[in-house]
Structure 1
Amino acid sequence: MESLTVMVLKATDPFEYKTPKNEVKNMFHAIVATENQYFHVKVFNISLKEKFTKNNFIIISNYLENKGILEINKTSSVSEATPNQKIEVPYDIIKSANDSPKIWDIRKGAANAEFYGLFTLYKKTVKKTNTYYEIKDASGSIEVVGRGKWFDISCKEGDKLQLFCFHLESMKSQPTLVCGEHSFIKILDKSCTHLKNAQ
């Protein structure tokens, strides 16, 4: 796959996740854009974090692409773009990258599709092993199931939940967003004055 020159739009802090073999590893999520489109990125090499600074221009090589999401691992190469390698990213691409999907559209999505976006928390219900975060927008509502690291995170009604890599599944015959191996949540409190990581 040929190299890709991109502008970094945002990146999360690194976080721990467990592999199917129960190994604890680290990664972070990012959003980058070319002149024509934007990509969600899973970065499995956290030593690259400094390169994923907002508005930084980088060149990505030896990456993988899975369902439209880029994956960067130890064999991938990420280098700083020189001044003459920088690109112009149109405003509408940046806007699209920052826009969240409508919940109505999420509910109609394909099974196991991965979704990202910023949503308002309407209701939080803590059960024995799962926490159900009901999110809402003008188009409807949907439940987000959090377990493990995302069980009973510190948030309250009206907070904004920034979801990264949540999978659409059917639970009790209803479309539901479920956390997976690479899921991540950031919380923006109701006053919108600061962004904090869920602990």
Structure 2
Amino acid sequence: NTNIKKQSTIKTQVSQKKHQPPESAATSNSSATPKKGNLPKEPSKVEGHHRDPIQVMVLKVTEPFTYDLIDGKRMFHATVATETEFFRVKVFETALKNKFIPQKIIAISDYFGANGFLEIYGASCVSDANVNQTMVISNTLRRRANGTPKIKDLFSQIKGTYVNGEFVVTKVNDTGKMEVVVYGRLTSINCEPGNKLRLVCFELTSREDTWQLKSVRHSYMWGNVPKEPSKVKGHHRVAKEVMVLKVTEPFTYDLIDDKRMFHATVAPETEFFRVKVFDTIIAISDYFGVSGFLEIYGASCVSYANVNQTMVISNTLRKRDNGTPKIKDLFSQIRGTYVNGEFVVTKKNERNDFIYYEIEDDTGKMEVVVYGRQTRIKCEPGNKVQLIYFQLTSNEDTQKLESVRQSYMHVCALGNTILPKNHVLF
């Protein structure tokens, strides 16, 4: 509680459009299993420790996330169903992500029921169902399990109800609005009015006769697809599953000591990262976050994800993590920002030990300065050049991109972009 009080909070409002489906996710006081002809509108509640297995189909899963930043504790949320009811699940063993695949049938045992959730703590609690096992989940039950409650219905729920759903962040009241309060790690998620917001495990509370949804320790929140790479700071040992989107060739960044590295871009389903890899034999793990990059120094912790693991990277996210910023937008960035992108070279000027290039797009022009090993790269006006890890600097009121020790530069053909499709665990 002391840590919570010290962290900042952010308040916003969510609303709904009138065309949203009317399914309600109200909390039930009944734990009885309903008959097929009486499908529930709310998740079933289970209390206490249960050892006997139940077979369920996975309907929806979040990405694993760190809910305790001090101890590095991680978890993910899921929604599962039998043919007659559905459950919300908290999974505190993230290695089980390769079991929780949508549409897959699994067996859950040795679980705990608490506050309307099934809680799973060990890898031994989940197993694959028989290969011939079938399960028919009706469309009605799927809609109710994955649906969003009406805000007007939330006002009639009891305090302490946990809510899942997707809402529009707005200050305009269409059919209803409610305040959402987040604190701690969730305040770093970029979300603005007009965005669509996914909330999982938010608690319904009241304050001064006003109802609100409030984040708790195990809450998960996801906003719009980010336009910028996610930034991580410090040393991280916990594994993160990502898809490799883009990789440079290994290059020697220190000619004296013959030190080599390569750059990469990787992504889970909701964000993307820029990566520096200093061990060119195996890529990724036991990494450090520095200056907006993940830095990897050893070959100790990288492994391929489960062969059956799937990951859906949206086209929007692919475009943003592989995209090139507009030059006009670079002028509004803070000094010291590191830039990746592909640009057309329009001018070249060699002075002393430096080469000065001018790059241009349909929004403007900017100078690029390279030195050292980068001056050996043959690049002429009219070429398209790929720049990775170039620093935005300024000189005499003129902003420019400047190569640093670990910059990468490559002259490429138009549209020559390689997108590896490997999953790695780091």
Q: Answer with 1 or 2: which has the greater Rg.
A: 2
What is the rounded CA distance, in whole Å, between the counterparts of 1:37 and 1:175 in structure 2? Answer: 28
Opposite residue 270 of structure 2, the aligned amino acid is K
Aligned partners of 1:121 and 1:136 also within 8 Å: no
Q: Which amino acid aligns with 2:135?
A: I
1:44 match? 92
Does the 8 A contact of 1:8 with 1:31 survive in 2?
yes
Equivalent of 1:13, from 63, 68, 87?
A: 63
Q: Is 1:171 the counterpart of 2:219 in the alignment?
A: no
Match of 1:154 in 2: 190
Q: Which residue of 2 aligns with 1:74?
A: 122
**Structure 1, residues 1-33: CA drift from partner, whole Å, max 9, x if none?**
3211111111111100129xx533000001111
Equivalent position of 2:80 in the other structure:
32
Determine if the alignment matches structure 1 residue 185 to structure 2 residue 221.
yes
CA-atom RMSD, angstroms? Answer: 2.3
Deviations 1:69-125 (A, max 9, x none): 1111127510111133332112211111121111111122111111111111114xx
Q: 1:174 to 1:152 in 2, by over 3 A?
A: farther
TM-score by length of structure 2 reads 0.40
Distance in 2 separating the partners of 1:184 and 1:197:
14
Matched, 1:94 2:94: no
Give the Cα separation in 2 of the matches to 1:171 and 1:136: 20
User: Structure 1-normalised TM-score?
Assistant: 0.82
Q: Which runs of 5+ in 2 are unaligned?
A: 1-49, 226-268, 273-426
Q: Does 1:196 align with 2:270?
A: yes
Q: In structure 1, which of residues 106, 114, 120 is the aligned counterpart of residue 154 of structure 2?
A: 106
Shift of 1:136: 6.1
1:158 Cα deviation (Å)?
1.7
151-160 or 163-172: bigger deviation = 151-160
Contact 1:63–1:76, Cα closer than 8 Å, also in 2: no
In structure 1, give the amino acid aligned to 2:56.
Answer: V
Kept in 1: contact 2:166–2:198 (CA 8 A) = yes
- Distance change (3 Å), C-alpha of 1:137 and 1:71: farther
In the alignment, is the contact (CA less than 8 A) between 2:164 and 2:200 conserved in 1? yes
Alignment correspondent of 2:102: 54
Per-residue CA deviation, residues 53-77 of structure 1 (Å, 9 max, x unaligned), is 1111100001111233111112751
Any idea what the Cα deviations from partners look like across 1:115-172, whole Å, max 9, x if unmatched?
Answer: 111111114xxxxxxxxxxx9662x110110110111521222211110000111123
> How many residues get paired?
180
Relative to its length, the structure with more strand (as a share) is: 1
- Deviation beyond 4 Å, 4+ runs, structure 1: none
Q: Give 3-state SS (helix, strand or coil) of 1:30's partner.
A: strand
- Structure 1 residue runs of 5 or longer lacking an equivalent are 124-134, 190-194
Q: Distance in 1 between matches of 2:129 and 2:108?
A: 10
Cα deviation for residue 197 of structure 1 reads 5.3
